[in-house]
Amino acid sequence: MADVPASEARQALLRTLEKGQVRRGTVSSVSDVDTLVDLGGIHGLLRTPEVSWQRREVPLDQVLRVGQDVTVTVLDVDADRDWLTVSLKSLQDDPFREFARTHLGHVIPGRVTKVASIGVFVRVHEHVEGLLPASELPEREGDEQPLAVGDVLVVEVADINLDRRRVKLLLRDMG
């Protein structure tokens, strides 16, 4: 039996992959932007947002390493373009959905992560930030900023939009 050329073997493997399929693979390269995962002869592109639900605050090469075994979900297969994208986070529980199930209407502490003209962003859970709209902030005197990054507030989770992944907060106490 003659050896099948590598490109034909890749195409055959690519045709066996389907969107939503879970596969084991090995990290073959890591860059600042993305990672390649070898799925046994074909590489799947693992984009940074698909690594985890957590915001990327550390370089990818500190999260993944070449040679690491991983389990991924196939997101997209394009056999015509010889293209495959995969996800690690699709196999992880979505902390935003869990937060939505358990925190709507609750009064909880949070830490200011960003002050913007539209309001203040507050981390209310390990992987969840909400917006405290500017209209909810106390009046300022002069140019004084009432809040700064790092301040702790007590807020009420007033609204959660699962589709847009947004949380609206109301101020209950400035900690």
Averages of pLDDT over runs of 10 residues in the chain (175 residues) are: 61 84 94 89 90 72 89 90 89 90 94 94 92 85 73 95 94 78
Question: Would you state the pLDDT for residue 118?
Answer: 94
Cβ-based neighbours of 44, under 8 Å, separated by 6 or more:
23, 25, 36, 37, 72, 74, 84, 85, 86
pTM: 0.69
The predicted structure's pLDDT at residue 6: 58
C-alpha closest to that of 51 among 31, 72, 22: 72
Please state, in angstroms and as integers, the Cα–Cα distance from residue 95 to each residue in 32, 117, 159, following that order.
25, 27, 16
3-state helix, strand, coil in the chain (%, to 5): 20, 45, 40
Quote the pLDDT of residue 1: 42
Q: What pLDDT score was predicted for residue 175?
A: 58
Contact 69, 102 (CB under 8 A): no
